[in-house]
Amino acid sequence: MSNYVAVAIDVQHFSVYFYQVKNKLLLITSNLKHLDMRKFLQFAFAIVFLMGTVAYVQAQTFAGSDACKLCHLDKYDNWAASGHPYKFNVIVDNQPPVYPPEAINFEDQWMDSLGDGSHDWSQIAGVIGGYGWKARFVGLDGHLVGTSGAVSSDGVGHNQFNFFGGVDYGWVDYHPNDVKIYNYSCFKCHTTGGDTTGSWLAGVDGLGTFTEGGIGCESCHGPGSDHVADPTTSNIDRVYEFAHQDNSLGGLSINGEVQTPNPDGNDVNFLCGTCHNRDYKAQINASGGFVKHHEQWDEFTHTEHYANGMTCLTCHDPHKRVIWDGDGIKMTCGTCHPTQVETINHEGNATCLDCHMTFAAKSGTTRGQSGYKGDVRSHLFKITVDTESMFTEDGAWVRDDEERKASLSPAYTCLGCHNDDPNDDIPDKTLAEVVAAAGDMHNPNSIPQHSEIEMSIYPNPTNGVTRISFTAGQANDFSLKIFNVSGQLVYNLENLGSVLGEQVVYWEGTSNTGASVEPGYYFVQISTGAVTSTKKLVLMK
């Protein structure tokens, strides 16, 4: 079915190699006597050219991610447990793809109701995605099942399965009236070693080829066969800067200036931006009231974080996942913004990410009832506190003009939760109400007082056992929860009792499973009935 052959040719690198070898040969032959030097050099240069060509082509072939496993097992295992390898899954021997156990994707339902309901895995050539948000399916004819022209299920839709966070959001109709063929223009960001020549699918011409389904090691580090043969730091890229073959700009455009790939460069923002954008320009694409998926780079380049020299690696470990409770975030907001973390004037357990990285983007589905919650976190960070839309009038872009720089709207940062569900115990609010409240969200003089619950944490900061004591003015069942700054619940105690007076809990810096948690900022939340008190705890180790 598949033909995985691709070789990358780089004239600049080859020229350097060729002239280095040629100069060494000239040095050697300059000392030789009694030879026809002209004929010798002509012969020698021809040999060097052939040797250089062979050596270079060999050095530039893709070896596959499994070849990296022997020397880089930890990174390989982290990568294998992330979403990158599953961006495109080639079907082999009519067997469904195998996903990591944390990916609750309802795979057992896919063939029951895809398209017209008549499919089985023998009719599927590959699955696009299926790890974190959605799944689409490529038929043996190269068409996406359910789209126009597909041999089976021609134009019937019912061909994109949506899920998120373990919730089944069901089937939608993905472009049933359009011809959608899985070729280079699609798989260039879903596979490794993509090329416009040849065809990855037997019997279907002109699709293009790739060397590995999914985003493998060499998508980010470049072709690695030479490194596999002789592992050194000089023959593998730490960051593989490249431009897609159908990129008419030849690079990435920021504020009208095109940045092109540097073969010897090390710009991780360029590498990530190659795929985490939609048109190689910095404008932020939107549709249907949400930022489109694959726009994280476009959003990030509009922020002060980018302007101040931060990179994707500042916060992300590129080998680890973030979704499915992964530990791919290596630096949190409180590292640089401790004052803001300490003065979050918000009831309940709202965290930095809930507001500044809210779900203003959509990959597969919208969630809840507010109309303002998608399934991809924004990377704009900044919130403009007014009632204006964050999008242009036609809804095609995020606004970025003199009146409103690219930023989030309180409609998404606030109403996504406050109007999400009338039964979730979060008060419903209007846009005007949340705008009025949001302006003082980090004002230390506006921290709400919780007269019914008094809490004390000692020592704070702590590097060992922490004493958490609290009292309340009325008898109710208490609960204690500890969250990290990403909003993840790391420790939970329910039904602590309903006696009046002081209660004390000792926390040893562990999760409920007994595993030690990482140093950083945490929020201790005590709740009883409708009353909640939250305080910051700094854990040092």
Q: Give dist(CA 508, CA 159) in Å, integer.
A: 49
Q: Give dist(CA 37, CA 43) in Å, integer.
A: 10
Query: 21 and 112, same structural domain?
Result: no
Q: What does the pLDDT look like over 8-61, one tens digit per residue?
A: 434 334 433 343 343 344 434 444 444 455 555 455 554 444 444 444 444 479
Chain centroid to Cα 522, Å, comes to 24
Query: 123 and 201, same structural domain?
Result: yes
Query: 75 and 44, same structural domain?
Result: no
Going by C-alpha positions, the residue among 126, 125, 114, 218 that lies closest to residue 160 is 114
pLDDT higher than 50, residue 450? no
Which residues face 468 on adjacent strands?
457, 505
72 assigned to some structural domain: yes
Query: 84 and 205, same structural domain?
Result: yes
Query: 96 and 164, same structural domain?
Result: yes
Highest mean pLDDT among 67-81, 420-434, 512-526: 67-81
Q: Residue 208: which pLDDT band, with cuts at 50, 70 and 90?
A: very high
Close Cβ partners of 375 (under 8 Å, ≥ 6 residues apart):
133, 164, 359, 361, 362, 363, 364, 365, 366, 367
Q: Is 339 exposed, middle or buried (0-12, 13-18, 19+ CB in 10 A)?
A: exposed
Domain that holds residue 46: 11-59
Query: 158 and 34, same structural domain?
Result: no
How is residue 404 annotated by DSSP?
S
Do the bridges between strand 290-292 and strand 361-362 make them parallel or antiparallel, or are there none, so unpaired?
A: parallel
479 assigned to some structural domain: yes
Query: 19 and 150, same structural domain?
Result: no
532 assigned to some structural domain: yes
Q: What does the pLDDT look like over 92-141, one tens digit per residue?
A: 999 999 999 999 999 999 999 999 999 999 999 999 999 999 999 999 99
304 assigned to some structural domain: no
